[in-house]
Amino acid sequence: MSDENQNKTSYNADSIQALEGMEHVRMRPSMYIGDVGPRGLHHLVYEVVDNSIDEALAGHCDTITVAITPGNGIRVRDNGRGIPVDMHKKEGVSALQVVMTKIGAGGKFDKDSYKVSGGLHGVGVSCVNALSNHLKAVVFRNGKVYEQEYQRGKPLYDVREIGTTDYRGTEVTFQPDDSIFKDTEYKYETLASRLRELSFLNAGVKLTLIDERITEDNGEFKQEQFVSENGLKEFVDLLDKGRHRITAECIHFSGEKEGVPIDIAFQFNNSFAENMHSYVNNINTIEGGTHISGFRRALTRTLKNYGDKEGLFTKHKVEIAGDDFREGLTGVISVKVGEPQFEGQTKTKLGNSEIALAVDRFVSEYLQYWLEENPKDAKTIIEKVILAAKARTAAKKAREMVQRKNVLTGAGLPGKLSDCSSRDPQKCEIYLVEGDSAGGTAKQGRDREFQAILPLRGKILNVEKALEHKIYENEEIKNMFQALGVTIGTEEDDKALNITKLRYHKIIIMTDADVDGSHIRTLILTLFFRYMKELVENGLVYIATPPLYQVKKGTKIKYCWSDNQRDALIRELGGESGTGVGVQRYKGLGEMNADQLWDTTMNPEFRTLKKVTIDSAAEADRVFSMLMGDEVPPRREFIEANARYANVDL
């Protein structure tokens, strides 16, 4: 071996890069904020806002303002105590500089400063500083104004005093580093959703979002204010806006048990799914944990004891299971934990065993009183439980029939499926295509090696309104389950989706670019969100983006995905008048020939796929229930508010 090769392959102390603090954040940003895509970009804002919320939790702040600046920067201002600016004895610099430049520094590690705090990993604002081109911190404290600026985490000068003030608080302004983030455009609705959520979780705190990139007709910047007087009760009402509740009002318990502050609101509706959302110190614990376990255990036991005592189960010869007590349940649980232990795949599952017992005892005590004081509603809930048990039995039989049929008929693949040659799920993708006509075009245009096509006839069943056993009996839905190779029910959970035999690692929804196509896409997404959520959570579901227009002049043919793109292309090819430029509007996939569909929508080299994600399960739950539920007014409000973002064909 030559010396050159030996140097390349040797692994010794010289090979280890000793990266500290800010350098390591910049080299490995995903370790700190999850990713460098839109989720990570927005997470920067949440880290700064979390500091302000911590001040609110400690009783020192009630107003927080978040502004998106014209260049996609962010400004966060609160009326808390203001970050300390005096000299830090150990570090030899201002405490403000320590907080802004040292990973893990901050008052939340001092139990005397904060009993509980948000912020999942304690990386906080210093991480935001490291990942910003520029950050400026202004502190209003003790009647004076202080400031310090940073470039990619490094101070540009020492903390300096710049004036006097009657105000108290902190203002942080930052510009995300465009050399790290793929896309630096902030989405107003994404931030609005989080601030709305925080307002419910912190009743009485006023959160304002301002978009300085958009000026409204009245000459003012687009903005919204979020403040909740009744907290979680209002949160549940919002989540259930599209559903019909079966009790007179939302059930809300708030208090403390064994030193743990617990806040719970829930109600039962006429739907067939459980929609329980959980939080620890304002962090959305999407994987649940011990607080959810304690709630479920107490709910099941207390309702069962009440039903037995009142003789409400005796007439019905049906076996009641834990799931039956939670069908049609929408709720939110929020706990404050001094030292939370997180586990699970995304570190958002609460692991503290003592919290389960505290929540269990708390819910048992309060729910028992509520049932005794509301006998009419209590009886309605028990009747819902009995119906759920009967429906569960029917659904289990329907699932078993579908899955047994697969085994008996061999591969069990639907006849309409045009499968691909490869058997490697990581390489394979399946297109769920609207209609036989488009399906035929897609079959001709695809790459048969790794692309499978499953045409869907018409609009699939709206699972938001259907009994579970009806879902498994639906032909189009059965075809999807069979083609994907997924089944319902695992050893651990009778209702969990088993994806161990999933046949494709890209599931692509491809529908027409019109109102019917949008409706079909929403129906399919509702099915995935309610019954195959694991596919979405694992990042396996995508939406194809076929072009809206073909623009042609002579032999030049180009495609456009928006009206603005079309108008610009017409001017480019035909001048201001557009003389001799032909425009074709594609309303259906079937209007394209196979080559065009391949070139624009299916060729991995040129296509654009939109990955379906669930950044906020609570927000997704609210939107799906509103769009696909029984109540018309909330759906009309949503459509009117978002009409300018939609392609509406009249």
Is 512 catalytic? The answer is: yes
Strand partners, 261: 256
The rounded distance, in Å, linking the Cα atoms of 93 and 88 is 6
- Which tokens belong to 169? 């608080």
**21 alpha carbon, distance to own chain's centre:** 29
Active site residue 54: no
Active site residue 310: no
**Which residue, 454, 508, 446, is CA-closest to 483?**
454
Active site residue 621: no
Which is the catalytic residue, given 50, 512, 599, 621?
Answer: 512
The whole-angstrom distance between residue 274's C-alpha and the CA centroid of its chain comes to 17
Burial 154-182 (b: 16+ CB within 10 A, else e): ebeeebeeeeebeebbbbbbbbbbeebbe
- Ranges of H-type helices in 337-427: 353-373, 375-408
Given 54, 324, 514, 619, which residue is catalytic?
514
Reported as type and span, the H/E element at residue 477 is: helix 475-484
Cα-Cα end-to-end distance for the chain: 73
Helix and strand numbers (H, E) in the chain are 20, 26
Considering 47, 429, 434, 468, which one is annotated as catalytic? 434
**Catalytic hit among 147, 237, 287, 516:** 516
DSSP string, 285-324: -TT-BHHHHHHHHHHHHHHHHHHHHTT-STT------GGG
**8 A C-beta contact, residue 278 and residue 288:** yes
Distance CA 488, CA 531 (A): 9
Tokens of 458: 């018409």
How do the residues of the chain divide into helix, strand and coil, expressed in percent and rounded to 5?
40, 20, 40
The Cβ of residue 416 has, within 10 Å, a number of other Cβ atoms equal to 16
Gap between the Cα atoms of 291 and 353, Å rounded? 9
Phi-psi region at 311: left, alpha or beta (left = phi > 0; alpha = psi -120 to 50) = left
Catalytically active residues are 434, 512, 514, 516
